[in-house]
Amino acid sequence: MGVNLQPGQPLAIASSPDHEALVRALTAEAWAAGADEVDVLYSDQHVRRELILHGSEEALTRTPAWLLRRAEELVERRSAVISTTGDAEPHLLADLDPGRVGRTRMPELTEFWWEAIDGGQVSWCVFGFPNEGWARTVFGEPDVERLWAAVATAVRLDEPDPVAAWREHVAKLRARGEELARCRFDALRFRGPGTDLTVGLNPGSLWPVEARTAWGVPFVPNIPTEEVFTTPDWRRAEGIVRATRPLALPGRSVIVSDLELRFEQGRIVEVSASSGEEVVRAQLANDDGAACLGEVALVDGTSAVGRTGLTFFNSLFDENATCHIAYGRAYAEAVEGAVGMSPEGQRRLGVNQSTVHTDVMVGGPEVEVDGLPGAGAAVPILREDVWVLEALATG
């Protein structure tokens, strides 16, 4: 499962020095699984903090040529790529200028990876590594053992045969995705406290679950994953939505609480939050597509992540606890015929383009989700966190 490393394939690991114990274990396992090479790149959030504090505006968005060269080399060599998450210091950037925090990114590198991922040019996987700082954020105390137990539940390591459990789980998600694809809804509607949002879909919206490299190797990009997702039409979101969980901005060590967004003709036109609002505003201003939707994903109450009852303050986990939308870049693979198109062509088709991609959790027991056909009555998909679409479709 996961990155599904093949014998003879190179593996690259992108991680934090805070995760070195995991990195070392992964490296040993990868060689044992027949890796041709294991290349580790550590990124230090403290170094990023100093950049945000002191760098010129130009430096904030600089992609070093060698880093792009490294990405190209990984793609040329059909590598597997693992990224680890689990922020040991999730408030590290909280005292910095939020505009600079939101602007700091490497657009060329992000763009390169999005295209490589859309084209299936690498197998990749993201997962989390429990550590003291992350545990303190979740529990208020550095109880790493408790976080390990929660993560083990969330990623099905507590099953007697985790790999078999994953196979079964992926098959269940695949069936949901296929059902949604058959329904060919024109839009999805979310209704709940503070939320009434309609998200227009593309005529060719797909609901892929398992990813596959261009050379045919299946992999699971997120561990955990509990979602079925698609690429909405970036021009057709309308209404308001209230985030149902706090949002830890990936790579930014900033937590956004009580986020509310209002959409008009696809675009976010109002933002409010009790913390992190300015960082979100800076992100939305980064480029033209940042304020439009790139993803909508459905998750029900059977989610192994959701069943832990925890907020992980980590998007990888929290987005798999409940339904979510993402502003910014869309996955071309989730729209028929979009892979391989030019960015402008994808945009015309309805596939959003941006150097931002931020997931916002919007689901939960109080939020109803319906599928809206082009004509006719709304079709319930989720009620009180229960997946009801299958029963209706097959009943």
By CB under 8 A, name the binding residues for a second copy. Answer: 17, 20, 23-24, 27-28, 31-32, 36-40, 42, 44, 46-47, 50-51, 53-56, 59, 62, 64-67, 69-70, 73
* Single-letter residue type at 100: R
Q: How far is the CB of 234 from a second copy (least distance, A)?
A: 34
Residue with smaller CB distance to a second copy, 82 or 220: 82
Residue with smaller CB distance to a second copy, 111 or 238: 111
Q: How far is the CB of 110 from a second copy (least distance, A)?
A: 17
Residue with smaller CB distance to a second copy, 62 or 262: 62
Q: How far is the CB of 118 from a second copy (least distance, A)?
A: 22
d(CA 9, CA 35): 5
Residue with smaller CB distance to a second copy, 34 or 203: 34
d(CA 4, CA 124): 8
CA count, 13 A, side-chain hemisphere, 211? 30
Bridge partner residues of 218 (DSSP): 212
Instruction: List alpha helices for 274-342, DSSP H.
Output: 277-284, 315-318
Q: How far is the CB of 133 from a second copy (least distance, A)?
A: 14
What radius of gyration, in Å, describes the C-alpha atoms of the chain?
20
Residue with smaller CB distance to a second copy, 67 or 183: 67
Q: How far is the CB of 20 from a second copy (least distance, A)?
A: 5
Query: Strands (DSSP E) along the chain, which ranges?
Result: 10-15, 37-42, 80-85, 123-128, 187-192, 195-201, 211-212, 218-219, 228-230, 232-242, 247-249, 254-256, 260-264, 267-272, 293-298, 324-328, 357-361, 368-372, 379-383, 386-387
Q: How far is the CB of 30 from a second copy (least distance, A)?
A: 8
Instruction: Record the tokens describing residue 85, joined without a space.
Output: 């998450």
Residue with smaller CB distance to a second copy, 39 or 210: 39
